[in-house]
Structure 1
Amino acid sequence: MIIYITKAEFIEDYTVKLSFNDGMVMLVNLKNSIFNDHRKIFEPLKDVQYFKKFTLDTWTLVWPNGVDFAPEYLYELAVKQNEKAHNIIYH
């Protein structure tokens, strides 16, 4: 199954609530992904006000400067973060 995002909602800080096409709804925090990537294109996303400007492309999150994350990466990261925090993963 090809995974893609059907809905995205800013929660706080660098956390986004993502709904996936398989019915899963999970929180994902992208702070480490953004701050640990030292490429210049990620610099604007380090400002949370800019981070909040993401939109939903046909399959994933995208920012005005063209940055996006593969939906599979976001899915795996969300699962890992939610399992570690013992959060409920909705289906």
Structure 2
Amino acid sequence: MLHDVTAATHQGGYLIEIEFDDGSRGIADFSTYLTRGGVFERLKDPAYFRQFTVDQEAGTLVWGDELDIAPESLYAQATGKGLPAWMASDEEAAANLRYAVQQ
């Protein structure tokens, strides 16, 4: 299920507290994006990183017109609930399924 980002607050460094439309909230650590290169290269600049906004139409975080991150990824990272099965790797999907069956 897709959950839109409704609010976000910088928590220092590369941490952002994110709130979602289902009331869930958590802190996402964006330092993992710093080694990805490409469009994520600009996130290494702390001043640029802090310029994120919530795009209400897209339901996600954006940095200007150049960069946004899928809300499913943000939800998984901030809440620890994992990616939807259609986005997860085979190994991660299997782990999520095992966890769900145990519940």
Q: Shorter chain as normaliser: what TM range? A: 0.7 to 0.9
Cross-structure match for 1:52: 50
Aligned residues: 79
What is the CA distance between 1:36 and its match in structure 2? 2.2
Percent of counterpart pairs with the same letter? 36
Structure with the larger helix share: 2
Q: Does 1:72 align with 2:83?
A: no
* Contact 2:9 2:18 survives alignment (8 Å): yes
Mapping for residues 1-91 of structure 1, pairs under 5 Å: 1-32=1-32, 34-39=33-38, 41-58=39-56, 59-80=59-80
Partner SS for 1:12: coil
> TM-score, length-normalised on structure 2?
0.70
- The one-letter amino acid paired with 2:23 is G
Deviations 1:34-53, CA, capped at 9 Å, x for gaps? 212121x2222111111000
Structure 2, unaligned runs of 5 or more = 81-103
What is the CA distance between 1:65 and its match in structure 2? 4.6
- The one-letter amino acid paired with 2:48 is Y
> TM-score, length-normalised on structure 1?
0.78
Structure 1, unaligned runs of 5 or more = 81-91
Greater gyration radius: 2
Higher relative contact order (CA 8 A, sep 6+): 1
- The one-letter amino acid paired with 1:53 is Q
